[in-house]
A and B are shown apart, each in its own frame.
Chain A
Amino acid sequence: MKILVALKQVPDTETKVKVAADGKSLDPADVKWITSTYDEYALEEALRLKESKGAEVTVVSLGGDSVKDVLRNALALGADAAVLLKSDASDPLAVATALAAYAKDKGFDLIFAGNKGMGGDNASVGPMLAELLGIAQANVVVKFEVTDAGFRAEREIEGGTEVVEGALPAVITAQKGLNEPRYASLKGIMAAKKKTIEEVEATAPAGATAVIALVLPAARPEGRKLDGDAAAQAAALLNALKDEAKVF
Chain B
Amino acid sequence: MILVFCELKDGKLRKPSTEALSEGRRLADAAGKPLGALFVGASTAGSADAAKYGADAVFTVEAPHLASYSSDAFAAAIAGAVQAKGATVLLGAASAMGKDALPRAAARLGAGYAGDVTALAMVDGKLQATRPVYAGKAFATTAFTSAVQVATTRPNVFAAAEKAGAGATEALEAPAGDFKAIVKEILAKGTGKPDLTEADVIVAGGRGMKSGENFALLEALADALGGVVGASRAAVDAGWGLSHGIQVGQTGKVVSPTLYIACGISGAIQHIAGMSSSKYIVAINKDPEAPIFKLANYGIVGDLFEVVPELTKAAQAMGIGVH
Contacts and interface: CB of A to CB of B under 8 A. Distances in A.
Interface stretch (A45-53, A68-76, A138-146, A195-203): A138-146
B287 interface: no
A19 B171 CA distance: 48
Given A215-B139, A238-B320, A230 B303 contact: yes
A166 B181 CA distance: 4
A34 to B, nearest CB: 12
A128 B296 CA distance: 39
B140 interface: yes
Contact of B181 (A91, A124, A138, A247): A138
Contact of B112 (A118, A207, A226): A207
A135 B107 CA distance: 13
A237 B313 CA distance: 13
Contacts of B282: 237, 241
A28 to B, nearest CB: 13
Interface stretch (B43-51, B55-63, B81-89, B247-255): B247-255
A224 B112 contact: no
A93 B197 contact: no
Contact of A131 (B104, B112, B279, B288): B104
A148 B128 CA distance: 45
Contacts of A16: 137, 269
Contacts of B314: 231, 234-235, 238
B181 A167 contact: yes
B134 A17 contact: yes
A223 B183 contact: no
Given A137-B104, A156-B96, A208 B300 contact: no
A231 B180 contact: no
Interface stretch (A56-64, A157-165, A184-192): A157-165
Contacts of A26: 134, 138
Contact of B106 (A15, A37, A124, A235): A124
A119 B251 CA distance: 11
Interface in B281-318: 281-282, 288, 293, 295-303, 306-307, 310-311, 313-315, 318
A32 interface: no
Contacts of B21: none
A224 B183 contact: no
Contact of A220 (B195, B270, B297, B310): B297
B134 A225 contact: no
Nearest to B245: A156
B306 to A, nearest CB: 4
B195 A158 contact: yes
B158 interface: no
B72 A123 contact: no
A248 B143 contact: no
Interface string A6-33: 0000010111110100001010000000
B169 interface: no
Contacts of B116: 121, 123
Pick the most buried of A26, A91, A161, A208: most chain B CB atoms within 10 A of its CB. A208
A92 interface: yes
A130 B302 CA distance: 51
Contacts of A170: 180-181
Nearest to A169: B180
A154 interface: yes
A86 interface: no
B241 interface: no
B211 interface: no
A208 B180 contact: no
B197 A137 contact: no
A214 interface: yes
A160 B306 contact: no
Given A127-B100, A225-B301, A230-B306, 19 more contacts: A13-B135, A13-B270, A26-B134, A123-B99, A127-B103, A131-B108, A138-B181, A208-B145, A209-B145, A211-B140, A211-B141, A217-B137, A225-B293, A225-B298, A230-B302, A233-B307, A240-B298, A242-B318, A242-B320
Lowest 7 CB-CB distances: which A-B pairs, in order?
Answer: A166-B181, A208-B112, A160-B188, A136-B180, A158-B195, A124-B103, A234-B310
Interface of B: 69, 71-72, 75, 95-97, 99-101, 103-108, 110-116, 128, 131-146, 179-191, 193-195, 197-198, 201, 244-245, 247, 250-252, 258-259, 269-270, 273, 276-277, 279-282, 288, 293, 295-303, 306-307, 310-311, 313-315, 318, 320-323
27 contacts: A121-B132, A122-B115, A126-B103, A131-B72, A131-B105, A135-B180, A137-B72, A137-B104, A156-B96, A157-B97, A160-B187, A165-B181, A206-B145, A208-B113, A209-B142, A210-B143, A214-B141, A215-B139, A215-B141, A217-B137, A220-B297, A230-B303, A231-B310, A233-B307, A235-B314, A238-B311, A241-B259
